[in-house]
Structure 1
């Protein structure tokens, strides 16, 4: 177990990398219309968006091999170089292909750094500290969500999108330095089980899903291919939801599918389903994420006092709230009640997520920390991607027009709610949490 100073540096480094990830998301999404126009790629938005996603998924099955083959300093240094190089390449791009390649390189680096940071946390931080770090990382999305878009637009007006795209890099550097300080004497895992090469089917399938996002058949084929790779990446017993980390990874996947799938359609839900303007839809969009970010920091204190509701109960509340959105759009419920339901869903997630993430990232016997870290990150991200693809496919199949769109949204949100409820069922199979007094410092 590292010293308290090393634990603090490691925790702050992980939080810093999460803040950098949040800044990257909001900067990239805010600049997307500007970049698409400047690169003459308005008809190739999928390519502009896909780069970072594909890079991250490619890094997952390769991270364990890299961490075993190189020292901590080399891994972190390589990740930093790739992050800077990929971002610089994207900022200098003269066309959408070069931009996408640069974003893919940066996405690969982001995935590598995330796996290294999480695996180090699994090996070196007690459960209590890890819960606090998880709670803090959720809070790191509040500030970028509130001020990220206006600051990004302001910088774009002053220096242009190419310089603005570099904004997240200082936070990546700070996070990397802190993690490096905490792990400089870390020998790493000497017995990492090599992930099957079948795991590389995940980025292959994901690539098909993202690039051909407007073709339902391609999405289905890509999903099947990615699931084969996913099965090779996750811990043994995940597909059977075996008690402990396997059930946690399975529940995290379903949570990502159901909640992030619902979150991805909120703007469409309010503009097309309830007939609001974009301003009102934007307010609704922030309700659940803001509630999540504000409620998660309460988890460590509630957990210490024995007052934290069970993960299954919190996820069940979230699932019921998502189902309520399906009923609301079908019946034309009042706008304030719908926002309230979505905010309560965020509270449920905020209280459930740290414990669920902790359970999913606690290695069962025979599973290395690095292997599990890659599986956990993939599970949540892959679930979210499946949710987004499922939602868009449902809306495509139900067609245009107000009545058809209401029908599609009702079906989509009903499905998302059921999936989150299934995640709640799997959460009953998590390993019992150890009382704080029984954990190592």
Structure 2
């Protein structure tokens, strides 16, 4: 006999979950349009990419751990711990008096987000019966995508209004409200039976491998950190093979629909995070526009992604998930080429916005079709794990992509007077008149490898999606009815 539902007020809990998911997703990108102004205030230009990658890395490596803890100790306490960490990190960022202090706050925020996302998805599985889960998970997925893309615009509005510190302080009342609602609405039954041991060694090895990989991508002692990343990854695989309750079920990755979706997610995560972090730097530092204009350059992606995501499922029913994903991959390549060309030619902001719309539409088609295809083929018993693996890959791709792109940018930036002038480039317009044009030229040249990498990432994504087979094995017995793949 299944345990009774622990929820006394399902709708109130769901609204609180949506709010928390929105906060965590938006925080991954909201800082992008504020970063130039933050650097002008606190310094830390050479650490620019870490403001995004530190948050993503902290949330990525802790997702499997928090998900497992929620199974062992209950959803509610682990979710509340995540909200408390997110609240504390937001406060620390808002009161930061140096860039390293800001980075420390971003790490704490990321730890909280690592709990919020997987536990929220798990709670939805507890809240809703099978026939309602697809609709509800679609709502959560849309909230996540919209929040991530809307983040830069929200950040721009806050920077132009009360100031960059409110990019972080604005989280405080909403995080507290979500925690209060969860505390009142969610009541879990007492857990009985044997608890499987927590794979702490696997979690530690995953953290070591991921952190070392990002450090290597940033150019920090690349031989040492690269070796450590490889060693940690190999040790993690061995540990997961022997663990009684592994963090990541490795056999699941052998399934084509899971492996291809995860591989494509790595590239799409890097593209998304690279766009929202480095396009504002070009808009404000090279094109000499305001933070609000940065939001407008990225805003069309907010329109393209959800529209394409909604259409993708209807289109898949008429054709196939494979066809929709391939069209999305082509649009991603076209969007990356258009964006790179637009910034290199210093095109008007509407032209840049059109390219981000194309990129967002491609991501909406490809990401949604691959994920839903996976969920309709994997059985219910493994559907949550398979979704978590794809989410883990996308977030890790974003963190690594930002790290690599940040390293490419840092190599092109000079020291001394040039670095000082580039920092001044990002300050309010009154300080720009006396600047040497060479500072703009150095920043523009330093961003060139970033735009080239966009095209390469789009091509890599397309290559992975092209491997999606025409025919797959039969869906698992409890996978349910789905469009053909």
Same fold (TM over 0.5): yes
Q: CA deviation at 1:38?
A: 6.3
Q: Matched residues in 1 for 2:45 and 2:442: separation?
A: 24
What is residue 424 of structure 1 aligned with on the other side? 465
The answer (yes or no) to whether the contact 1:82–1:105 under 8 Å persists in 2 is yes
What is residue 438 of structure 2 aligned with on the other side? none
Q: CA deviation at 1:421?
A: 0.3
Q: Matched residues in 2 for 1:360 and 1:189: separation?
A: 31
What is residue 120 of structure 1 aligned with on the other side? 123
How has the CA–CA distance of structure 1 residues 172 and 359 changed in structure 2, closer, same or farther, with 3 Å as cutoff? Answer: farther
Structure 2 residue 392 is matched with structure 1 residue 378 = yes
What is residue 154 of structure 1 aligned with on the other side? 161
The answer (yes or no) to whether the contact 1:22–1:140 under 8 Å persists in 2 is yes
Unaligned runs of 5+ in 1: none
Q: CA deviation at 1:388?
A: 2.5
Q: Over residues 149-173 of structure 1, what are the superposed CA-to-partner deviations in whole Å (9 max), with x where a residue is unaligned?
A: 32354333xxx83x76331123223
Structure 2 residue 183 is matched with structure 1 residue 169 = no
Q: How does 1:233-272 map to 2 (within 5 A)?
A: 234-237=248-251, 240=254, 242-261=255-274, 264-267=277-280
Q: 2:114 aligns with which of 108, 111, 114?
A: 111
The answer (yes or no) to whether the contact 1:192–1:368 under 8 Å persists in 2 is no
Structure 2 residue 480 is matched with structure 1 residue 415 = no
Q: CA deviation at 1:72?
A: 2.6
Q: Matched residues in 2 for 1:191 and 1:362: separation?
A: 30
Higher alpha-carbon deviation: 317-326 or 41-50: 41-50
Q: CA deviation at 1:49?
A: 5.3
The structure with the larger Rg is 2
Structure 2 residue 80 is matched with structure 1 residue 77 = yes
Q: CA deviation at 1:383?
A: 0.9
How has the CA–CA distance of structure 1 residues 186 and 415 changed in structure 2, closer, same or farther, with 3 Å as cutoff? Answer: farther
Q: How does 1:283-362 map to 2 (within 5 A)?
A: 283-297=296-310, 302=314, 310-322=323-335, 324-325=337-338, 328=341, 339-360=353-374
Q: CA deviation at 1:18?
A: 2.5
The answer (yes or no) to whether the contact 1:115–1:373 under 8 Å persists in 2 is no
Q: CA deviation at 1:339?
A: 4.7
Unaligned runs of 5+ in 2: 241-246, 414-440
The answer (yes or no) to whether the contact 1:319–1:417 under 8 Å persists in 2 is yes
Higher alpha-carbon deviation: 116-125 or 21-30: 21-30
Q: Matched residues in 1 for 2:232 and 2:459: separation?
A: 22
How has the CA–CA distance of structure 1 residues 154 and 397 changed in structure 2, closer, same or farther, with 3 Å as cutoff? Answer: closer
Higher alpha-carbon deviation: 226-235 or 19-28: 226-235
How has the CA–CA distance of structure 1 residues 258 and 356 changed in structure 2, closer, same or farther, with 3 Å as cutoff? Answer: same
Q: What's the secondary structure of 1:155's corresponding residue?
A: coil
Q: CA deviation at 1:116?
A: 0.6
Q: Matched residues in 1 for 2:355 and 2:363: separation?
A: 13
Q: Over residues 320-373 of structure 1, what are the superposed CA-to-partner deviations in whole Å (9 max), with x where a residue is unaligned?
A: 314633884799697666653442221122233334334556795697677556
How has the CA–CA distance of structure 1 residues 185 and 166 changed in structure 2, closer, same or farther, with 3 Å as cutoff? Answer: farther
How has the CA–CA distance of structure 1 residues 47 and 293 changed in structure 2, closer, same or farther, with 3 Å as cutoff? Answer: same
TM-score, structure 2 normalization: 0.68
Q: 2:141 aligns with which of 114, 134, 143?
A: 134
Q: How many residue pairs get matched? A: 430
Q: Matched residues in 2 for 1:129 and 1:141: separation?
A: 18
The answer (yes or no) to whether the contact 1:50–1:207 under 8 Å persists in 2 is no
What is residue 27 of structure 2 aligned with on the other side? 24
The answer (yes or no) to whether the contact 1:238–1:250 under 8 Å persists in 2 is no
The answer (yes or no) to whether the contact 2:271–2:458 under 8 Å persists in 1 is yes
Q: CA deviation at 1:381?
A: 0.9
How has the CA–CA distance of structure 1 residues 373 and 173 changed in structure 2, closer, same or farther, with 3 Å as cutoff? Answer: farther
What is residue 59 of structure 1 aligned with on the other side? 62
The answer (yes or no) to whether the contact 2:49–2:403 under 8 Å persists in 1 is no
Q: What's the secondary structure of 2:162's corresponding residue?
A: helix
Q: CA deviation at 1:6?
A: 5.9
Q: What's the secondary structure of 2:69's corresponding residue?
A: helix
Q: CA deviation at 1:75?
A: 1.7
Q: What's the secondary structure of 2:250's corresponding residue?
A: coil
Q: Over residues 182-230 of structure 1, what are the superposed CA-to-partner deviations in whole Å (9 max), with x where a residue is unaligned?
A: 5635969977685573443443344345567652763755764675588
How has the CA–CA distance of structure 1 residues 366 and 378 changed in structure 2, closer, same or farther, with 3 Å as cutoff? Answer: same
Q: What's the secondary structure of 2:399's corresponding residue?
A: helix
Q: Matched residues in 1 for 2:229 and 2:394: separation?
A: 15
TM-score, structure 1 normalization: 0.73
What is residue 424 of structure 2 aligned with on the other side? none
